[in-house]
Amino acid sequence: MTEYADIVFTRHKGQGITVDTAPPRTRVALQALMDRYAYLHMPAPDVIVFADQVVYRITAYVEGALELELVEDWRPAPAVQLPLTDEQAKEIKARWKEQHGNGQVINLVEVPKVEGSGA
């Protein structure tokens, strides 16, 4: 059985819409094509482009909904943080030490001891 999931969008004030999740297969109600606020266009009769970021091909029409299959994903690849090399770690530690000193306490703060409560 084919699994369908929703396309997830985020609307950014003054910047438009981004596609957060683009599943391999999804269903869209026909009413979505008529919604003037839906950020989509159809460059061909069997293709729908959402937010100029993902391209779906229409594969079927079932009970008032179009079944779609992801064809292209134009979103930028997520940034991946690779582990630091030993050299990079040493450089970061050296810069931190240079900016923040040698780890010695500059101002010693003494906290007065409170002996018993006089209440």
- Domain membership of residue 109 (yes or no) is no
Locate all alpha helices (DSSP H) within 1-113, ordered by sequence. Answer: 31-34, 86-100
- Domain membership of residue 89 (yes or no) is no
- Domain membership of residue 47 (yes or no) is yes
Distance CA 76, CA 74 (A): 6
pLDDT of residue 102: 63
Secondary structure string (H, E, C) spanning 1-19: CCCCCCCEEEEECCCEEEE
| DSSP helix/strand/coil, 54 | strand
- Domain membership of residue 103 (yes or no) is no
pLDDT of residue 82: 78
Structural domain tally of the chain?
Answer: 1
pTM over 0.75? The answer is no
- Domain membership of residue 45 (yes or no) is yes
pLDDT of residue 14: 80
- List per-block mean pLDDT (blocks of 10 residues) for the chain, which spans 119 residues: 84 84 92 83 93 94 93 85 84 81 64 69
Residue 58, domain extent: 8-73
Reference 19, options 32, 37, 6; nearest CA is 6
- Domain membership of residue 92 (yes or no) is no
Reference 16, options 59, 50, 48; nearest CA is 50
pLDDT of residue 107: 65
- Domain membership of residue 93 (yes or no) is no
- Domain membership of residue 110 (yes or no) is no
